[in-house]
Amino acid sequence: MSNKKVLIETEDQRFLRDPSNMALINNDVAAYSQYKEHRKKSKRVDNLCNELDSLKNDMSELKDMLRNIGKLNGQ
């Protein structure tokens, strides 16, 4: 016996229906690949933004340290 489910075609070719629970299943492989690529790029942008924020904070800390050193040497 096969464990493979039989899916029913719908009017919209992008979807199939599971007869056991009547769920619609997206069958559009190209759209799914496009979604995954978009999600991957979005995560990369988020990571780059986080790294940039971290660098900004580091630069701010370095500026504060240099100002403090300057004040100490000025006394």
pLDDT in tens, 5-55: 789 999 998 999 999 999 999 989 999 999 999 999 999 999 999 999 999
Looking at the 3D structure of the chain, how many domains does it have? 1
Alpha-carbon span 54 to 2, nearest angstrom = 54
Q: Is residue 61 part of a domain?
A: yes
Q: Is residue 3 part of a domain?
A: no
Alpha-carbon span 40 to 34, nearest angstrom = 10
8 A C-beta contact, residue 27 and residue 14: yes
Domain around 13: 8-74
**pLDDT of residue 65 exceeding 90:** yes
* Residue of 21, 22, 18 whose CA lies nearest to 4: 18
Q: Is residue 19 part of a domain?
A: yes
Q: Is residue 21 part of a domain?
A: yes
